[in-house]
């Protein structure tokens, strides 16, 4: 309908022009309109999971500490974190050179497009469905979701959660998986042969808020008077860590 409207409008306005010029104009304008529409549509296929609200995480722990079993909240937080982890893993793969076609993914198939030039202007084109997008547009869409989609030195934590959470069969298992994920770190090796050191919380990629807000939340999370031994162990381990970001006030 959009194209027909344009054609009619042009036909009325340019009826006095020579036939050849009209045909050239129609063709040029329709090509431009079609290209812009298609490009918008390709961009519209790009979706990234947002970071999860700190308030939801806080509410989850408060209810758990109070002995209230809120399965719906556990699922809401757990699956939101799962989708965020999957987005992080996917974006990290794309940065390395392999972009997953967003349109094929919508239809349930997986197709990877190789970034051969590794330049911002490179157009990525799916060999299966013809979906295409410029790399800089792909990255800009990721930044609209607040960025922080690169796994950095915490990739293993995101992969572990994405691999284990879907198999958790009880709310308790889900909470333990969530707790372990948000308390993990970006680990970096400062010296050869030594153990990796915690740099900053992996929660920064997962939760809304600044570094300070995320750190404050993780330190204040309530576990109640009788937390599960696994939760207590994670809490004690977390408190014993001295991540570099915290020492440097970042
Ligand atoms: Zn495709």
131 in a domain, yes or no?
Answer: yes
Beta bridge partners of 97: none
**94 and 194 share one domain:** yes
90 in a domain, yes or no?
Answer: yes
Compute, in angstroms, the gap from residue 37 CA to the centroid of ligand 1: 18
163 closest CA partner among 104, 72, 57, 85? 85
Reported as a single tens digit per residue, the pLDDT across 47-70 is: 999 999 999 999 999 998 888 889
66 closest CA partner among 233, 222, 229? 222
Tell me which of 76-90, 91-105, 227-241 is least confident.
Answer: 227-241
Reported as a single tens digit per residue, the pLDDT across 71-95 is: 999 999 999 999 999 999 999 999 9
Compute, in angstroms, the gap from residue 110 CA to the centroid of ligand 1: 8
Average pLDDT for the chain = 83
**CA-CA distance, 138 to 123, in Å (whole number)?**
10
Compute, in angstroms, the gap from residue 130 CA to the centroid of ligand 1: 6
Tell me which of 20-29, 47-56, 73-82, 96-105 is least confident.
Answer: 20-29
Residue 12, pLDDT > 80, answer no
**37 and 99 share one domain:** no
Compute, in angstroms, the gap from residue 49 CA to the centroid of ligand 1: 20
Please tell me what DSSP assigns to residue 98: E
Assigned token pair, 16: 């006095």
Per-residue confidence band for 224, with pLDDT thresholds at 50, 70 and 90: confident
**CA-CA distance, 136 to 103, in Å (whole number)?**
18
Assigned token pair, 60: 């989850």
Q: Residues lining ligand 1 (ion), CB within 5 A?
A: 101, 103-104, 111, 126, 128-129, 131
Domain count, the chain: 2
Compute, in angstroms, the gap from residue 155 CA to the centroid of ligand 1: 25
Reported as a single tens digit per residue, the pLDDT across 169-188 is: 999 999 999 999 999 988 98
- Structural domain for 197, as ranges: 54-247
Give the model's pLDDT for residue 248: 61
**CB of 208 closer than 8 Å to CB of 53:** yes
Compute, in angstroms, the gap from residue 192 CA to the centroid of ligand 1: 42
159 in a domain, yes or no?
Answer: yes
49 in a domain, yes or no?
Answer: no
Compute, in angstroms, the gap from residue 124 CA to the centroid of ligand 1: 10
Compute, in angstroms, the gap from residue 132 CA to the centroid of ligand 1: 8
Give the model's pLDDT for residue 20: 44
Compute, in angstroms, the gap from residue 102 CA to the centroid of ligand 1: 7
**73 and 147 share one domain:** yes
Residue 26, pLDDT > 70, answer no
Give the model's pLDDT for residue 32: 45
Entry field: residues in the chain = 250
Compute, in angstroms, the gap from residue 179 CA to the centroid of ligand 1: 36
**91 and 134 share one domain:** yes
**96 and 175 share one domain:** yes
Reported as a single tens digit per residue, the pLDDT across 141-150 is: 998 877 899 9
Compute, in angstroms, the gap from residue 117 CA to the centroid of ligand 1: 19
Assigned token pair, 213: 């807000």
Compute, in angstroms, the gap from residue 51 CA to the centroid of ligand 1: 26
26 in a domain, yes or no?
Answer: yes
**230 and 140 share one domain:** yes
**198 and 178 share one domain:** yes
Q: Cα(first)–Cα(last) distance of the chain, in Å?
A: 54
Give the model's pLDDT for residue 41: 59
- What values do phi and psi take at 199, rounded to 5? -100, -55
């Amino acid at each position: 309908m959009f194209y027909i409207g344009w054609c009619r409008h042009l036909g009325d306005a340019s009826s006095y022009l020579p036939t050849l010029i009209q045909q050239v104009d129609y063709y040029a304008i329709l090509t431009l309109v079609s290209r812009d529409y298609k490009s918008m549509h390709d961009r519209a296929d790009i979706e990234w999971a947002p970071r999860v609200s700190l308030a939801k995480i806080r509410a989850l722990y408060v209810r758990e500490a109070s002995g209230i079993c809120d399965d719906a909240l556990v699922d809401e937080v757990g699956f939101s974190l799962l989708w965020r982890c999957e987005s992080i893993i996917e974006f990290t793969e794309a940065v390395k050179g392999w972009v997953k076609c967003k349109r094929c993914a919508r239809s349930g198939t997986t197709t990877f497009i190789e970034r051969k030039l590794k330049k911002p202007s490179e157009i990525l084109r799916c060999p299966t469905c013809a979906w295409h997008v410029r790399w800089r547009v792909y990255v800009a869409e990721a930044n609209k979701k607040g960025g922080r989609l690169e796994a950095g030195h915490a990739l293993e934590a995101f992969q572990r959660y994405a691999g284990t959470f879907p198999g958790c069969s009880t709310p308790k298992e889900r909470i333990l998986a969530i707790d372990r994920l948000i308390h993990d770190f970006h680990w970096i090796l400062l010296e050869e042969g030594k153990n990796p050191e915690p740099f900053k919380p992996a929660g920064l990629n997962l939760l809304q808020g600044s570094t300070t807000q995320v750190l404050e939340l993780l330190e204040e999370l309530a576990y109640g008077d009788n937390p599960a031994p696994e939760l207590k162990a994670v809490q004690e381990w977390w408190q014993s860590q001295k991540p570099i970001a915290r020492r440097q006030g970042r």
